[in-house]
Amino acid sequence: MKILSHASKNPERQAELVAGIERLSAGTATIQFASDDDDALVAANDAEIILAHRVTPELFSAGKHVKWIHITGAGVERSLFPAIAESDVVMTNSRGLHAQPIAEWTLGALLYWAQRFDEAEAWRRDREWKQHKKLMTEERKLLKGKRALIVGMGEVGRGIADLLHTIGMHVEGIATTARNTSPPVYANEELDQRLGEADVVIIALPLTKNTRGLFNRRLFVLMKEQSVLMNVGRGAIVDEEDLIAALDRGKPGFALLDVFREEPLPPDSPLFTHPNIFMTPHVSGNFSEYTREVNAIFLENFERYVNGEPLRFVVDKKRGY
């Protein structure tokens, strides 16, 4: 059995995979690490398993004997093209490890907005004590009691909900189907109604044909005046031109963004200069031990694969996540 890894090039992480595969397969499996795309195409020819950041149509076509693909991230939209979607190949992802780091990013970004930490940075530049102290005092907001609507209640959404609940926010969720849980989760059909009641709207959705461009002018006008829109899902879920126009109108009043329609974000993007946006370069799910955790998820599934057991984190190829 051969495994192709077209993922991390870190020698330590690669050594972990080699040792784990040797142990779990009793020496019956090998792993080959591709140095680049061309190398991966050659190595895929006799591979049974592919571990990759992304699988291209060319790579999939080259892997004529592939039975299982594991994607190192949570989003699979770039790898879920028709040939894979219509095949019998099992696809899994690494969605189990993003909930905590994204939840902590969410809280950090909300505190930046609520505490007006941008004014603290302005004070360090101009050193005008009274002006910034007055503004921060008058405009500082407490998150306790604020209403957060999380659109997308998968593992990431639930992780965010748990953390925000601990600081006293009133949390609700939106998902494909309603759930009688705590926090309450409403069906997609109730999104329009719930938007107008939320102080903070958090997008934690995967990118699918149904979510692409979902947040646009039509939804923005339904939002609460001076509310906050956060996106930790996928950039293409938000119409960025409509968002900028909506921010100018105050519905929402502020945006906290970690993902963008085009990445890297072009240097001339108007998002850079809008005063009511805080953003980071798609880092909310990243942390220093990320690759080690991905390897752990892969090796746990590899053990299941060797033993003929069901895999965890299987992607529903029809739904796209």
Catalytic residues: 234, 263, 282
Which residue in this structure is represented by tokens 């195409």?
A: 41
Q: List C-alpha distances in Å: 124 to 109, 133, 139.
A: 20, 12, 18
- Asked if 274 and 243 count as a contact pair (C-beta separation under 8 A), the reply is no
Which residue in this structure is represented by tokens 């892997």?
A: 63
Q: How far is it, in rounded angstroms, from Cα 42 to Cα 64?
A: 11
